Structure 1
Amino acid sequence: MTIASKASLEYAKELDQKDSIAQYRDQFHIPKDDNGNDWIYMCGNSLGLQPKTTKKYIQQELDDWANYGVEGHFEAKNPWMPYHEFLTDTMAKVVGAKPIEVVIMNTLTTNLHLLMVSFYQPNKTKYKIVIESDAFPSDRYAVESQLRFHGFDPKEGLIEWKPRSGEELLRLEDLETILDQQGDEIALLLIGGVNYYTGQYLDLKKIADLGHAKNCMVGIDLAHGVGNIQPELHDSGVDFAAWCTYKYLNSGPGSLGGLFVHEKHAYNKDLKRFAGWWSHNKNTRFNMRQEFDVMPGAEGYQLSNPPILSMAAIKASLDIFNEVGMDALRKKSKALTAYFEFLINEIDTDRIRIITPTNPEERGCQLSVQVKNADKSLHQQLTDHHVITDWREPDVIRCAPTPLYNSFEDVYRMTEILKTLV
């Protein structure tokens, strides 16, 4: 196969014909133009597309609410009392965890704060927090507020793990240097498992090992990783993680998030935490006057009974994930992203470069494409051509060909449009 033929629509269609999970595209609503043609949607890293089954799953709960009222907690087709448990096994498979380590609840930053109640326990000498210098803003705001809450100045207590001068990507040896020099003062590492801007996928086990060697707690924000990469959270040894479900997990805007607490902490009832009714022993919860008896594992971090309609949307998507499996998704994702990378690099201009790692093991399905001397008008031009991507200042287009619903033809057509614009 020659280079010329590889960079062709015919070749892209051949790849789609060989794609063993191509049929799942038909299970999602793809935005369309006025003529009924599919838009090229590469924004699953911001909001995943809606599974066609979502309406049915939510309608089931609406019908049961109408038919049973409060008795739906026990009599619904999917009883509401244990509804979160219907999501646990598949969610655990997606992130590489044991069921006891995972629960769906709240939203991402809320969960990070609840987890830091337990895992950020500073003292006068060991209180600092390490984040990536270009962490997603909500993570920065969260850890700065935690430092202030505990009486520390964020300017003193926040340590940034930065790329080297002239580089965009983080180096683990630089994190090791930070820990060697300041480890005795660092209480917590809170790192984005996949960086939202560059798409870099970090070695979670190595980060955990480095942090634990200095007696630091290690937490991971998986917002841009869950449902995209295979983080193998249990084996990584990180203490905790949190994520949203509305990106690659396709659960709808603002839907519930999830959290992971490693099994080694599951039965430690002395962990400090903010408690609520739903973290109490489910066998005695409705006795109402029992002293607080926290459930083991991640379930012990719940506060309130969950919003069922949001969980129904999550269940619709997770049932697809359970059917496809992360191995198949990851295999296609690597192939799809590699083809996208090849096509971008074939564009004959020195204005374009990819800042995401070239090593497939160090990235998910996102490629961050830097376009020199561009501004947001380029993003608008792409949108005008029915290509949905995500613009990040100053000059980066984040593109996420998502294996569940994007095709090799999508990647080819998007690249051809970008070529005409630059």
Structure 2
Amino acid sequence: MQFESGIDFARKLDDIDPLARFQQEFSIPTRPDGSREIYLCGNSLGLQPKRARDYITQELDKWASLGVKGHFDCDFPWMPYHEFLSESSAALVGAQTDEVVVMNSLTVNLHLMMVTFYRPTRKRYKIVIEDHAFPSDHYAVESQLRHHGVDPQDGLLLLKPREGEELLRIEDIAALIEREGDSIALMLLPGVQYYTGQLLPMAELTQLARGKGICVGFDLAHAVGNIPLQLHDWNVDFACWCSYKYLNSGPGSVAGCFVHRRHAQDTQLPRFAGWWGHDKQTRFRMENRFQAIPTAEGWQLSNPPILSLAAIRASLDIFTEAGGMAPLRDKSEKLTAYLQFLLKAEVGEFISIITPEDPEQRGCQLSLCCDARHLSGRALFQRLEENGVTCDWREPNVIRVAPVPLYNRFEDVYRFVEILKTACNE
């Protein structure tokens, strides 16, 4: 698409956008003067779906009127409530319904998966992650190594960009897999790297790693709800994600987990077991002989927080109504490309984009690096906030901007760049 400057062009794109109506489904923060913020921070916390309040209120009313009976004979009973999210969650990640479960938090799920899928031996004991992994992932991996008596200095393989570069090169990852493959037990990488916004070729990396006998897991915190996924067909072993970013389910909301069917049906796999992962037919016999459910549900520990699941259900219903990831991805590519076009045209002398230019190598996030000769990135970020823009800052020098296709419009992008240009020139 040939983009043009000027607000009239942005409004024209909004007029023909088939997803524009979904902005009305979300509560957009306002400034003290009552004007609406330009919210470009869905990569950190998605906006509240208006219907989430209604869905949560329904559960509060059920609790008030039914008490414990709310677990059983009523609309959306609590006992199987997580199952109401399985079909739509599976659709978002390209999985079979029995391969996904909504449970716990992201890092808890990563630990639970590593209990099962990181089984070090004397010869095969190393874990591969990226050098600038999200800190929680790095902490989790190091603690798993130490738990198994492996020194992280020996057992942790860090994928690093080349000198002077920001992005990982696939040929370098392939070279490490080829060189170290016989000693690697697990490769745990992001779907979308949180700092740079780089989308990794998950299918290709999975094939390379599994060809060397390496177990493959992905942290999809910045990928789920952002890009199309096909976890089952890619033959990924496991994946975990949070739901409060692009899935718009509220701060600290319950996370999700994928376990490929070939593993999920193996009830003898080692795991940390809990009551909610036990066979549903015999759970209430209260016997102390654990029998795992032969699906991803077999990794559950406890009954989930229903109010949080209600918020997730509200958001997933909107994804379903929008037609799933295909139309959202189509708009996302246009929206992000339009942002890139305006940034280069209006503030190219001040800002560089470290996210890949190729749409197939990124989601909706662009990571902007400030030219320190001209201005302080932190000061620029604060100026944006003062002028009604919500994005986010990541040390040492990156402003992350994420135009989300469900609730951001092309005019939002245009106005953001105008504010950014003014701030840069000041």
With the shorter chain as reference, the TM-score category is over 0.9
Q: Deviation string for 1:342-373 (max 9, x for gaps)?
A: 00010254221111111111100000111111
Q: Which amino acid in the other structure matches residue 379 of structure 2?
A: S
Structure 1 counterpart SS, 2:81: coil
Instruction: Identify the range of structure 1 (220-229 vs 373-382) with the bigger mean alpha-carbon deviation.
Output: 373-382
1:392 Cα deviation after fit: 1.1
Q: Distance in 2 between matches of 1:388 and 1:79?
A: 37
CA distance in 2, matches of 1:127, 1:23: 51
Deviation at 1:236, TM superposition (A): 1.2
Shift of the 184–2 alpha-carbon distance from structure 1 to 2, 3 Å rule, reads closer
Query: 2:16 pairs with 6, 18, 25, which one?
Result: 18
My pick for the range that moved more, 84-93 or 177-186, is 177-186
Match of 1:257 in 2: 255
Which residue is 1:399 aligned to? 401
SS at structure 2 position matched to 1:228: coil
Q: Which of 142, 147, 169 is 1:171 aligned to?
A: 169
- Contact 2:41 2:401 (8 Å CA) reproduced: yes
Cα contact 2:100–2:257 (8 A) shared by 1: yes
Distance in 2 (CA, whole Å) between partners of 1:162 and 1:331 is: 31
Q: Find the counterpart in structure 1 of residue 390 from structure 2.
A: 388
Secondary structure of residue in 1 paired with 2:49? coil
- 278 and 18 in structure 1: CA distance in 2 versus 1, 3 angstrom threshold: same
Distance 1:290 1:150, change over 3 A: closer
Pair 1:341 & 2:340 matched:
yes
Identify the residue that residue 121 of structure 1 maps to in structure 2.
119
Are the equivalent residues in 2 in contact too, given 1:372–1:395 (CA < 8 A)?
no
SS in 2 for 1:131: strand
Amino acid at match of 1:271: L
Q: How does 1:186-265 map to 2 (within 5 A)?
A: 186-265=184-263
Separation of aligned partners in 2, 1:121 and 1:290: 26
Q: Which residue of 1 aligns with 2:365?
A: 366
Q: Give the whole-Å Cα distance in 1 for the aligned partners of 2:43 and 2:122.
A: 39
Taking the TM superposition and a 5 Å limit, the aligned residue runs for 1:17-416 are: 17-289=15-287, 291-324=289-322, 325-373=324-372, 374-416=376-418
Matched residue pairs, number?
420
Report SS of the residue matched to 1:347: helix
Which deviates further from its counterpart, 174-183 or 141-150? 174-183
Give distance in 2, aligned partners of 1:298 and 1:326: 22
Summarize deviations over 1:166-218 as a string: whole Å, max 9, x none: 11111111111111111111100000110000101111111111111111100
**1:290/1:352 CA distance change after superposition, 3 Å:** same
Q: Secondary structure at 2:72's aligned position in 1?
A: helix
Secondary structure (helix, strand or coil) at the match of 1:369 reads strand
How large is the Cα RMSD of the aligned pairs?
1.2
Normalized against structure 1, the TM-score is what? 0.98
Q: What is the rounded CA distance, in whole Å, between the counterparts of 2:90 and 2:266 in structure 1?
A: 21
> How far did residue 35 of structure 1 move?
2.8
Task: Give % identity.
Answer: 58
Helix, strand or coil at the partner of 1:58 = helix
Aligned to 1:421: 423
Q: How much does 1:264 deviate?
A: 1.5
- Measured in 1, the distance between the counterparts of 2:409 and 2:286 equals 53
Match of 1:406, SS?
Answer: coil
| 1:280-318 Cα distance to aligned partner (Å, 9 max, x none) | 011111111262111012110101111100100100101
Mean Cα deviation higher: 173-182 or 99-108:
173-182
Q: Are the equivalent residues in 2 in contact too, given 1:284–1:290 (CA < 8 A)?
A: no
Secondary structure of the residue aligned to 1:218 is strand
- Displacement, 1:2? 8.1
Q: Judging changes above 3 Å, is the alpha-carbon distance between structure 1 residues 412 and 274 closer, same or farther for their aligned structure 2 residues? A: same
Q: Distance in 2 between matches of 1:380 and 1:84?
A: 40
Distance 1:267 1:372 in 2: 53
Q: Report the residue type matching 2:403 in the other structure.
A: P
How far, CA to CA, are the matches of 2:363 and 2:255 in structure 1? 20
Stretches of structure 1 that go unaligned for 5 or more consecutive residues are: none
* Aligned-partner Cα distance in 1 for 2:32–2:146: 51
User: Please, which moves more after superposition, 391-400 or 216-225?
Assistant: 391-400
Unpaired segments ≥5 residues, structure 2: none
Quote the Cα distance in structure 2 between the aligned partners of 1:169 and 1:348.
22
Q: Please tell me whether the aligned partners of residues 68 and 75 of structure 1 are also in contact (alpha carbons under 8 angstroms).
A: no
- Measured after TM superposition, the shift of residue 332 of structure 1 is 0.6
Distance 2:8 2:182 in 1: 58
